Structure 1
Amino acid sequence: MSLYLKDADSSIDHGIDWSAHLAGQSIAASLWSVAPVEAGGLSVEASAIEGLRTSVRVSGGLIGRLYRLTNRVTLSDGQVDARSVTFRVEEC
């Protein structure tokens, strides 16, 4: 799992390149989630599937907190896979 820093007032884009994990499949669906869910916490603004890559725009977050951002994808053959990254919110 990777750790990224994020300013509490920023909205940033993050993406995952799934090409090395697909073995000829395509991405049929993508769902992003944040943990923990809390008032004023990190939130998902928008998401997209771009070929073999998924992307998300996240905003907010409480200073000093860690958030796990998880992308769960469903592949064209019905398999499900997930990848997570961690964001630490700072005042930059």
Structure 2
Amino acid sequence: MSLLLKDPQARVDHAIDWSAYLAGQSLIASDWMVEPEEAGGIVVEASAFEAQRSSARVTGGRVGQVYRLTNRVTLSDGQADERSVTMRVEER
């Protein structure tokens, strides 16, 4: 898991390149989750995916709070996998 810093007023795009993990498969579904879910917390404003890459635009967040942003994908052979990053919200 990696640590990213985010300003509470910023809209940040984050992407995951899945190509190294796919072994000939492709993405057929992608879902993004934020933990913890809380009022004023980070929100996934929009998301998208292609055959080998997924992305999300995140907004908000409470200063000093640490969030986990997780991308869960379904592959063309029915397998599921996920990757997470940690985001800390700081005034920048």
2:72 counterpart of 1:80: no
- 2:10 corresponds to which letter in structure 1? S
Q: Which runs of 5+ in 1 are unaligned?
A: none
1:50 shift after superposition: 2.5
Aligned partner of 2:54 in structure 1 is 54
Tell me the number of residue pairs that the alignment of Structure 1 and Structure 2 aligns: 92
Answer 1 or 2: which has greater strand percent: 1
1:48 shift after superposition: 0.4
Aligned partners of 1:17, 1:74: CA distance in 2, in Å?
14
- 1:36 corresponds to which letter in structure 2? P
Aligned partners of 2:59, 2:43: CA distance in 1, in Å?
5
TM-score (norm 1): 0.99
- 1:51 corresponds to which letter in structure 2? A
Alpha-carbon RMSD:
0.5
Aligned partners of 2:19, 2:41: CA distance in 1, in Å?
30
2:42 counterpart of 1:42: yes
SS in 1 for 2:34: strand
What do the CA deviations read for 1:18-53 (whole angstroms, capped 9, x no partner)? 000000001000000000000000000000013311
User: Which stretches of structure 1, 4 residues or more, deviate above 2 A after TM superposition?
Assistant: none
Aligned partners of 2:22, 2:57: CA distance in 1, in Å?
23
Identical aligned residues as a percent? 67
Aligned partners of 1:53, 1:14: CA distance in 2, in Å?
11
Q: Which runs of 5+ in 2 are unaligned?
A: none
